[in-house]
């Protein structure tokens, strides 16, 4: 008796997974997560936000962070979790059309080619494409994308990692390592919930977000008009808003969860002074 419903449900689940996979490719979720949280990336990101004086004394803390983050973050597992949540949000939506899939593929190639360029090549591409007059379709498509919100999440994680490294490097690790597990967990959770409030970090985050959007705008400018139209129609269908919300929410949960594990591991392993 359950066979027929299962057979009827299978195409719907397949369509949802297809939609989710296409959206993650379009938004560049896997390469973004890999670049930010693969081994070595977390420590490099934290170092970028340190003042020169702190960076000069933070080598030991950064190495310890690298070890802890390498064990805590798992790109494959996190991307799979994000895709599953997006698929759940997109159940009932139509499968991406051949035109959409082709447009996503061309956009992925543009992003990959851009990432492989040297700085001069990137500047030339960016200036050329950004010089084109902005059009409503590409502007609207950019507004439907999650790139700015996801960049904010990455920056928030980077800032929290940097703040902890700074305290360890300055010899203040005992203030953190002496906290009970529950209190430490609450403190890290509070810092995440509070977000970026200080003026300088807030300005840096706004700059990072805007740069991410401008690069994406340049990439969209290089797409054919027909691809932009197909992608915009896809991202304006009834499931699109829920899929975007699921992507951003689950990306944040994965980064926050893995980052919390990394920081607790780092702090607990740090010698008390």
Q: DSSP string covering 135-164, please?
A: -HHHHHHHHH--HHHHHHHHHHHHHHHHHH
Token representation of residue 32: 């973004």
Token couple for 190 = 């509070």
> What's the rounded Cα separation, in Å, for the pair 51 and 237?
46
Which candidate, 146, 153, 160, 135, places its Cα nearest to that of 220?
Answer: 135
Helix, strand, coil fractions of the chain, as percent rounded to 5: 80, 0, 20
DSSP 196: -
109: left (phi over 0), alpha (psi -120 to 50) or beta: alpha
Q: Which two tokens stand for residue 28?
A: 């560049």
pTM above 0.85, yes or no: yes
Each residue's pLDDT, cut to its tens digit, for the chain (273 residues) gives: 445 454 434 444 455 678 999 999 999 999 999 999 999 999 999 999 999 999 999 999 999 999 999 999 999 999 999 999 999 998 877 889 999 999 999 999 999 999 999 999 999 999 999 999 889 999 999 999 999 999 999 999 999 999 899 989 998 888 788 888 888 888 888 777 766 667 888 899 899 999 999 999 999 999 999 999 999 999 999 999 999 999 999 999 999 999 999 999 999 988 876
Q: CB-hemisphere CA count at 13 Å for 118?
A: 1
């Amino acid at each position: 008796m359950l066979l027929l419903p299962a057979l009827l449900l299978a195409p719907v689940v397949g369509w949802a997974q297809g939609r989710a996979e296409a959206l993650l490719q379009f938004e560049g979720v896997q390469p973004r997560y890999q670049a930010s949280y693969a081994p070595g990336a977390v420590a490099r990101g934290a170092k970028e936000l340190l003042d020169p004086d702190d960076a000069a004394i933070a080598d030991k803390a950064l190495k310890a962070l690298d070890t802890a983050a390498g064990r805590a973050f798992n790109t494959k597992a996190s991307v799979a979790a994000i895709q599953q949540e997006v698929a759940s949000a997109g159940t009932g939506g139509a499968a991406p059309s051949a035109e959409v899939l082709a447009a996503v593929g061309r956009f992925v190639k543009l992003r990959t080619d851009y990432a492989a360029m040297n700085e001069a090549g990137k500047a030339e591409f960016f200036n050329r494409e950004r010089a084109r007059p902005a059009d409503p379709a590409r502007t609207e498509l950019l507004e439907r994308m999650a790139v700015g919100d996801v960049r904010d999440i990455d920056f928030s994680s980077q800032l929290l990692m940097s703040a902890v490294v700074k305290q360890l490097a300055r010899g203040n690790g005992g203030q953190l390592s002496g906290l009970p597990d529950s209190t430490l967990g609450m403190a890290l959770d509070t810092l995440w919930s509070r977000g970026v409030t200080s003026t300088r970090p807030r300005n840096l985050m706004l700059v990072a977000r805007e740069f991410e959007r401008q690069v994406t705008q340049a990439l969209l400018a290089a797409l054919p008009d027909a691809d932009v139209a197909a992608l915009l129609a896809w991202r304006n269908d009834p499931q699109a808003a829920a899929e975007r919300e699921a992507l951003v929410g689950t990306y944040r949960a994965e980064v926050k969860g893995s980052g919390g594990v990394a920081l607790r591991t780092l702090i607990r392993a740090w010698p008390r002074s």
